Structure 1
Amino acid sequence: MNARSFRRLFGFLILPMLGAISPLIALPAITSNFGARAWAAIAIAQSVGAACGVIVELGWGLNGPQRVARAQRRNQRQIMATSIATKASAFVVMGPLAVVLSAALAPGYVLAVALVALGATGVGLTASWFFVGTGSPAKIMVTDSLPRIAAVIIATLLISVGAPLYVYGLAILIPSLISPLLAIVLTGVSPVDFRAVRGVRLLIAIRLQLVALSGRAVSALYIALPITLVSLVSPQSVAVFASIERLQRMTLTVLQSVPNFMQGWVGRTADREMRLKRATHSILLNAVMGAAAGGVFTALAPWVSSVLFSGVVTISFTLSALGGCMIFIVCVSRATGNIALVALRNIRAISLSALAGALIGVPAILVLAFALGPAGGLLGEIIAEAVVLSIQLTAVRRAIKRG
């Protein structure tokens, strides 16, 4: 690995860490000032918003990085304009829907819940995928990481001195809306670029993303919505389940740096055999990383939870072990899906694996959470991710045999 590649990898490592740290800053203030009930309401709103944000994202994070990595600079700007126009159209629809669903599922703290849901939906507007493809981690920091961290720090300080909970909602919403605007400025996208994406062309662009979106949207049922699903069958388990879910997702956010870097690395080569070789290496590396991270998570999550959630919620070793298992499986599937199968142009295999994961995972989460509480919810997630991984590995193995 040359010095330039190392700097890029370092940048992609630091940025997810910053993104993961920002919500952590606010959690002690929220739980100590408003208690477990408020935390459960916020967690449900984030869950619903994240699921709706997947629709807003329209699959750009899946096929966008490798597509933009191969494009000429002028075409890159057009791709950026197309993504923002299509995403904005989806946000207009999904934002209000997220607010209504969250308010229905998490009564109480209505304004805070609405703002959090809208802000979480707006995360789908981010252009981070574009900068992943162009290998520009510093621009992710400017457009995404720093605004979120600054907003959450301000909200935490205000809540600590008595501000209402909706301040946290504003800290989630405002950066989500600012992020695409900053991306437009940094990439030099002009009104001319946007004029090329209007009317029928906009609808065509959305339709072309539907294959990538289908896998993302279906996978949201077992990735973004587990907290919501658990709230339906075991409301008393939401606070604990949301805590372990949040910690494992934050860990996975940090670990996302490696596959993010590898998306551009794999996509930049035009030779199919070389792409396949690099994709195979990425699977092995992510498996080793996932195993190590899962072990560390298992050991530290109980202690970390007692600090972050102010003693209001604590995580047992059993739950942390299940979370560690989940982290390992997801790390491997990120490489088999987002890297290997995308490089092989087999997006349909990703969609198929997501559909199978949802068909098996959603009932598993509902049934097991009802019977076993938080541990059952985690087991349901693990089952869903294991199904997804097995299908993706099979598709990659077949591609390797074909050469």
Structure 2
Amino acid sequence: MNAKTFRRLFGFLVLPMLGAISPLIALPAITSNFGALAWASVAIAQSVGAAGGVLVELGWGLNGPQRVARARAANQRQILATSLATKGVAFVVIGPVAAVVSVLLAPGYEIAAALVAVGATGVGLTASWFFVGTGSPSKIMITDSLPRIIAVIIATVAISLGAPLLVYGLAILIPSVASPVLALLMTRVGFVDFRTVRGRRILIAIRLQMVALSGRAVSALYIALPITLVSIVSPQSVAVFASIERLQRMTLTVLQSVPNFMQGWVGRAPDRELRLRRATRSILLNAIMGAAAGAVFGALAPWVSSVLFSGVVTVSFTLSALGGCMIFIVCVSRATGNIALVALRDIRAISLSALAGALVGVPSILLLSAHLGPLGGLLGEIMAELTVLLIQLWAVKRALKIGT
């Protein structure tokens, strides 16, 4: 590995860590000042917003990085302009819906929940996927990670000094809206780059993303919405389930650095044979990383939860062990789906696996959490993710066999 490659990998490793740490800063302040009810409201709003963010993202994070990695500079700017135009239209429609749903489901702090939901939906506006494709981790820092960290730190200090919870909602919302604006400034995308996505062409561009979006949208049912699903059938379980959910999702955010780096690495391969060889290596590396991270998570999550949530909520060793298993499964499926199947041009297999995961996961989460509480919700998630992984492994194996 040469020095340039190492710097890129280091950048993609550090930035997700910063993104994962920033919400952690606020959690002790929220739970110690407002209690478990406020944490449950915030968690539900973030769950609803995360699902909305998947829709706003329109699948650009799936097929965009490898597409950008192969494009010339002028075409790269047009791709970014197209993505932000289409995402902007989606955000205007989906943001208010997320706010209303979170207000209806959250057990209290409605205004804060609405702001958090809209802000979390706005995360889908990010251009981080573009900088993954161009191999520019420093620009992710400037346009996305740093604004979020600064906003959350300010909100945490304000809450500790007696500010209302809605300050945290603003800390989620403002960076989400600022991120795409900063990306346009960093890439020098001008009005001329938006000429291909004016009027009806925006709708055409959105339609062209439907294949990539379909898998993302369906997967949101078992990735982004489990907290919301649990709140419907077992409201008393939300605080504990949201805690283990948040910890494992933050861990997965940090681990996202490796597949992020590999998306561009695979996409820049000059021929199909090398692309597939790199994709196969990425599956092995992500599996090793996932196994190690899952073991560490299983051992440390109970202690970390008692610190982060101020003793208001704690995670048992049973839940942490299952969370570790889920981390391993997701790490492998990120490589089989977002890297290998994208390299094989089999986006439909990703959508199929997501649909199967939703068909297994949604009823499992609802049924099991109603009877087993947080344990049941987590088991339902694992069943969904395992279904996705098995289908993707089958699709990769089939595609490689056909190609030989």
TM class by smaller structure: over 0.9
* Alignment correspondent of 1:293: 293
| Distance (Å, rounded) in 1 between the aligned partners of 2:8 and 2:123 | 23
Give the AA of the match of 1:96.
Answer: P
**Aligned CA-pair RMSD:** 0.5
What secondary structure, in the 3-state scheme, does the structure 1 residue paired with 2:269 have?
A: coil
Alignment of 1:8-23 (within 5 A): 8-23=8-23
- Pairwise CA distance, 1:357: 0.3
What is the alpha-carbon distance in structure 2 between the residues aligned to residue 184 and residue 238 of structure 1?
39
- What is the CA–CA distance in structure 1 between the aligned matches of 2:293 and 2:11, rounded to whole Å? 19
Amino acid at match of 2:287: A
Matches within 5 A, 1:292-371: 292-371=292-371
- Cα separation, 2, equivalents of 1:174 and 1:194: 24
User: Which residue of the partner structure matches residue 219 of structure 2?
Assistant: 219
Match of 1:251 in 2: 251
- Deviation string 1:106-149 (CA, Å, 9 cap, x unpaired) is 14211100100000000000000000000000000000000000
In 2, the alpha carbon distance for the partners of 1:272 and 1:375 equals 43
Matches of 1:158 and 1:110, distance apart in 2:
19
* CA drift at 1:196: 2.1
Give 1:272's aligned residue. 272
Q: How does 1:233-248 map to 2 (within 5 A)?
A: 233-248=233-248
1:119 maps to 119
Runs of 5+ consecutive residues of structure 1 not aligned to the other structure: none
> Which residue pairs with 1:230 in the alignment?
230
What secondary structure sits across from 1:196 in the alignment? helix
C-alpha distance in 1, partners of 2:235/2:16? 31
Distance 1:199 1:149 in 2: 36
Alignment match, 1:169: 169
CA contact (8 A) 2:40 2:107 kept: no
Alignment of 1:143-162 (within 5 A): 143-162=143-162
User: Which residue of structure 1 lines up, in the alignment, with residue 142 of structure 2?
Assistant: 142
Q: CA deviation at 1:273?
A: 1.1
Q: Which moved more, 1:87-96 or 1:269-278?
A: 269-278
The reply to whether residue 390 of structure 1 matches residue 390 of structure 2 is yes
Please report how far the alpha carbon of residue 356 of structure 1 lies from its aligned counterpart in structure 2 after TM superposition.
0.3
In structure 1, the residue matched to 2:183 is 183
Unpaired runs of 5+ residues, structure 2, are none
Give the Cα separation in 2 of the matches to 1:273 and 1:399. 13
Matches of 2:244 and 2:337, distance apart in 1 = 25
In structure 2, what is the equivalent of residue 71 of structure 1? 71
Q: Distance in 2 between matches of 1:292 and 1:400?
A: 28
Q: How many residues align?
A: 403
C-alpha distance in 2 between matches for 1:281 and 1:108: 47
1:205-254: CA deviations, max 9, x gaps? 10000000000000000000000000001000000000000000000000
The code of the aligned residue for 2:285 comes to L
What do residues 239-287 of structure 1 show as CA deviations (whole Å, max 9, x unaligned)? Answer: 0000000000000000000000000000011311111110000000000
Distance in 2, matches of 1:310 and 1:365, equals 27
Taking the aligned partners of 1:246 and 1:4, their CA distance within structure 2 comes to 33
Matched, 1:399 2:399: yes
Work out the CA distance in 1 between the residues paired with 2:49 and 2:24.
18
Contact 2:9 2:261 (C-alpha < 8 Å) held by counterparts:
yes
Q: What does residue range 84-95 of structure 1 map to in structure 2 within 5 Å?
A: 84-95=84-95
Partner of 1:202: 202
Shift of 1:194: 1.4
The farther-off stretch of 272-281 and 252-261 is 272-281
> Equivalents in 2 of 1:310, 1:374: separation in Å?
19
Equivalent residue letter for 2:358: A
**Distance in 2, Cα, partners of 1:59 & 1:201:** 18
User: In structure 2, how many angstroms separate the alpha carbons of the residues matched to 1:169 and 1:362?
Assistant: 28
Deviation at 1:58, TM superposition (A): 0.1
Identity value in percent: 82
